[in-house]
Structure 1
Amino acid sequence: MSGCSGCSSAAPDGSCSSSAGCQPGDEKLQKTLGRIKNKIVVMSGKGGVGKTTVATNIAVALSLQGKKVGLLDVDVHGPSVPRLLSLKGEKPHMGDECMEPVPWSKNLSVMSLGFLLEDERQAVIWRGPVKVGLIKQFVEDVMWGDLDYLVVDCPPGTGDEPLSALQTLGPTALAVVVTTPQGVAIDDVRRSLSFVGQVGNRVLGLVENMSGFACPDCGSVHNIFNSGGGEELAKEAGVQFLGRIPMDPEVAHSGDEGFPFMKVHKETATGKAMEEIIRPMLHLPDMSKLEK
């Protein structure tokens, strides 16, 4: 790779100054964050709620609206974003002190530990400090360039990864919390909402995933399971309810095949539900100005 054309220290001609280079420490991190208008951290206190699928389709939907988007997968032990975007086997270009994210389209770039593993079958056995260091490196050493949105997909829970992501991105980062309607998920997600506030960030909104069933034959949504638990939790916590996404067999199929649901099925009931979820994100102010 020639130069560091997208890193925070790049000169206007795309070269990296030999005297400045990719500067270490917080100054470099702040320069990187200053080029990202909005940071959205997608998280959940419960596993199995479809959080990565939601995060990936949010990023794709925003990019299809003409926005410059970065998608950062910080699920160290289960990096699945490369599969969902049919990017398995891709490798980021490496510079001396910078990495280029993997492009999915002209508007969407992706970074994941999955791109760096020599053997995808090998377990990643890391303690907290190593994971924290990787997440910070993925923010400040990746050549994200100027972004309208950086969408971060976190593993479930309130541990090292979501904590490090929010602390690295700073207090202007917004959380999108994903739940399913069932009470066992609501209990855990309630803790996630509390976690975000304790860290010092704000919840952009809550998404209720797998809410009802989208019939592939008639196209209508049937509430064969519980529905509405996410909206009730949002009211209880005083946060915005972004919407419901029904269970749709095509969502699972598209994930397995590696093509984003929102690129090919946005006219379906599920696609329209996802479009409603990103609508408030399209009207966010430029939060990077608060960091300068």
Structure 2
Amino acid sequence: MVSNGVADEEWAVRAVREAVPRRLLMCRPQFFDVTYSINPWMDPQKPTDTAASLRQWEELRELYVSLGHTVEVIEPIEGLPDMVFAANGATVVDGKVLGARFRHRERTAEGPAYLDWFERNGYREILWPEFINEGEGDYLRVGRRILAGTGFRTDPRSHAEAQEFLGLPVIGLTLVNPDFYHLDTALAVLSPTEIMYYPPAFTPGSRAVLQEMFPDAILATDEDAAVFGLNAFSDGLNVLLPQAATGLIEKLKDRGFHPIGVELGELLKAGGSVKCCTLVL
């Protein structure tokens, strides 16, 4: 170890990186298609390839398993093409399940479908929410705190509901760019104390809060944000993210993480990527 402050600090950061095995919930894109438009990424006029989406999804699932994670799979339902985006299905903290209530009618049936899976799999502390929230799309746990998005989908009143039920402090953040309509499209959790995010996606006040809370956060460029580079999953060491986010990949390497680029181009046609497909149980 080189004996100067910067080198010592860098070595220490790299030395403590450790992958934490997670239990994850995913949903095969068997019925995936873009038949409506509820975000700027969706264009029903552009063709989708179900076989390609299944192949890309399966590669992601196999990658999780190869890294030591446990993957549960919920059965897809015909007529719910966005059900593949499992992160939106609920928020799970310490075994408590806060259900999802979707803003757009095209997705409303997904909430009960996911809650039914939790009930059948032995979860007992389950809350059907009063206010609209779109699961881990807008609720991201960082250590013993929850960052909560609003502005396009999740009702800000749901933040208090989540805090009361889940028993963790909830910090509200407001999104302003419709291309980044969920929090998990503009911010990714890397460890219990670290995040990466795209500042222009947030209001000035929310940017100030993030700067105060995470002064050493990795900041995404316009180019990396545009390829959904922040829609990522981290186990504390391995960070799975779109392979086109080359700038973020290099920054993650510099911080001692092990970034793994994946290809989910078919699902991006509906405005989703790695994290959207992944609900952390």
- Higher relative contact order (CA closer than 8 Å, sequence separation 6+): 1
Same fold (TM over 0.5): no
- Under a length normalisation based on structure 2, what TM-score does the superposition of the two structures give? 0.28
